[in-house]
Structure 1
Amino acid sequence: MAPIVTGISPNQGAPEGNTGVTITGSGFTGATLVRFGSTPTNFVLVSDTQITARTPPGSGTVMVTVTAPTGTSTQNVLFTYTTVAAPVLTTLSPASGPTSGGTVVTLSGINLAGVLSVKFGVNSATMLSNTASQVVVVAPAGVLSSVAVTVTTVGGTSNALVYTYVAAAVPVISGLSPSSGPVSGGNLVTVTGSNLSGVLSVKFGVNSATVLSNTASQVVVVAPAGSPSSVAVTVTTVGGTSNALVYTYVAAAVPVISGLSPSSGPVSGGNLVTVTGSNLSGVLSVKFGVNSATVLSNTASQVVVVAPAGSPSSVAVTVTTVGGTSNALVYTYVAAAVPVISGLSPSSGPVQGGNLVTVTGSNLSGAISVKFGNNPATVLSNTATQVVVTAPAGPPSATTVTVTTAGGTSNPLPYFYVAAPTVNDLSAHFGPATGGNTVAVFGSNLTLASAVSFGGNPATAVLVISDSQLTATAPAGAGTVVVTVTTPGGTSTAATGNPYYTYLAAPVLSSLTPSHGPDLGGDAIVLGGSNLTYTDAVTFGGVSASFAAVSDTQVVATSPGGAPGTVNVVAHTPAGDSNVLPYVYDPS
């Protein structure tokens, strides 16, 4: 089988050639020729899967092929000749570091994209990141000297900047905090001093600690286990090993437990139990029988845990620390009673949900879920006799509410989702400012009306006639207001129909012109006054007259016939009757 070429790195280089490349693939054993386009080049067969070579001079994009006794590769692996500017270095930060290497060094400059290598003298650095203006590397180890740092890209090798390897100072430790701890280890110890950067190890006697953080003046470690004794703590860096400070391992006292609160709980677990006693610091486990509890807090005299699940029985509770396992106290698992619900308040609500519902009953502690049909409600508070929830959304219909605890699922109670009411018309859109008149309200979903409001003022004597009609006594008010109806489904809005109601001041008559006329009637009489715009009747001695409201201050009426003498003239509007003015019928 002919060689197979799968890749070349880098895949571009300078037209003058001499770019070092690595060709990867398979079947390279016995290779006799490497060509860039039609131009052969010198190469080194590294393995059956790798060849290194120097590019010949060229231009454009060419295919790279490998020829062996078995044939020539045909894969479309390409190399592009491109003019790339040589990299230029301007700064190193820092420009010195320890002979052990490991220092992060930032190289700044121009034309740095596509770095192939960064050399500290003859040693390659490990590259962490690379942009056109910056390369971040980890300095390799070196000897006490200054070396040239260079960057190589496909554009060539940069100018050199000087990096100096310096000897690291011997670490010095001046403090341990704390300077003692349990034989089990595991406690944090802060080692302070100088020249502590780049810690290689921290030893407690012959045992290594786990390093958590490290600065030039501090090392934080996890102490290893030890035996009851004093040991030497030392810090080792590339600068050597520090002086020793004494750390003392102390034997922990056996824990003693004296109380459980509560000493019983449901088989489902999940309840908090406080274990009191002495020597309880550094708890490793709290067991309820063979089951581990979850530790929430721990002091020398108290452990607060979440009880695990169990079966109806009594079990031994024990606490284990590095000092051993405590005496046992008895904890009793009791079967949870099935929850019973006896009331919902309210028992209906809007289809969009979001309203608070209080569920009352017994055995409600530890509610796992409250369902409205199949939809879970959000539990806000929970006691043995009450659960307060936020109702989920639901379609306009009846559903059932249930409560589930570790004891099972309760009996259901009905809950009704109610569509929001609408108001689309009123029997009267005008009325007296003093209120007191009856207004019929027309709309939909009115059956469960609990309140009617005229611009925020509650109406009285609300009487539901049907799902589409009710009556109410208007309260006092002023101006034009929106009439709304409230049900468990919510409160209506002014979005549909004509729910507007206007309060009117009572009509007032101040003059009649003329104030007398023939008993045969037929004269035009001008009624002067105020609040006359909505006049709907004019009477002369109780007899209706034809009229026309000219303005808010004037109505023109045609006098009806009447017996000679004086009669009362009254104007009527939706706000009521006006005061009376006398009109005299003259005998004909």
Structure 2
Amino acid sequence: MRPYRWIVKQWLLSVATGGPTTSNDGGTTVYMMIRISAAALLVALAAMVAIGLPRDAQAQTQIAPGTPRLSSFEPSTGLAAGGTKVTLIGSEFVVGAYVDFGGVPATDVVVVSDSRITVTAPPNQRGPTFVMVTNPDGKFGTSSAVFFTYQEAVTSTTFPLIQAVTPASGSQDGGTTITIVGSRFVAGATLTVSSNLATNVKFINEGMLTAVTPANAPGPASIKVTNPDGQVGTTRSVFDFMYGTERNPAAAAAIATPTPTPAALAPVVKLPVAGIGLMVFSGGNNVELLRVSGCPQATAAFWASDGLGAFVTYVPGTTITAVNAAWNAMFPTSLAANTPLIARCA
């Protein structure tokens, strides 16, 4: 018997005094109530820690290579009704991985990289629950040290902050998909453009929302984010409603321009043939970005900040849709002018 087991047996015994009984070795043992102080208990526990675990227990703590590991969530709370967009952060994630919250399968699972997965949390009971990631080869990892907490009403610690809105303009008829970047956003938040509610509001994470603009009179409009607990964040005149083609044909004709000639296009940025360079994109869609970079599609790659200390990736030549999923969520239609990027040509 290991020494610490003897200590626990001798110091933690709390059986009421009884008659003598015969022990396994033929002797007699008298059971009696032993009272110990908290200090004595701490000494016993310290002795156990110093001695260490048995070898068979130590072997069980070893994690096989390729086993997914979870370290945190963004956000770490969500609605019990489900629908919260959650980013899982860890390592050893593989495309095709399966994710469940307390045994309930998540939906919209996208393996962005080997360290990041985005999912939609399923409905579940209130309270903390573990999250499990299972790779296609059957290896799995759970969030034993951190938990995702379901709440009936998710609250924010303070008001939401809006930092940027892209694109910066759209038709007065509505229907423009916009991305709001900031912080302290909460699942279930609503979005108001001028005085009208936006539709199809999606909570991507604590720093990003997407929505579809409502119809509105032409001119600049404010954006307001309201979290479920009533906390409000507002920014003024960050989105311009332009005349719609159906309502003002004359304005549409004035806005319409012929296909630009090569001379009118933004100049090509001279990036290194090999390695990574910095560029400030003049604005436009992914096709224009690739043209301006001067990189061949087969070897080009681009990175942009997600506003939360991480990067989203765009690889034009990939056939794996999950690789560009986070990029397309952040830039659903185009990139704003003067967007800073990291680019690679080879």
Q: TM-score, normalised by structure 1?
A: 0.19
Relative contact order, higher structure (CA 8 A, sep 6+): 2
Higher strand proportion (structure 1 or 2): 1
Q: Which structure has the bigger radius of gyration?
A: 1
Q: TM-score, normalised by structure 2?
A: 0.31
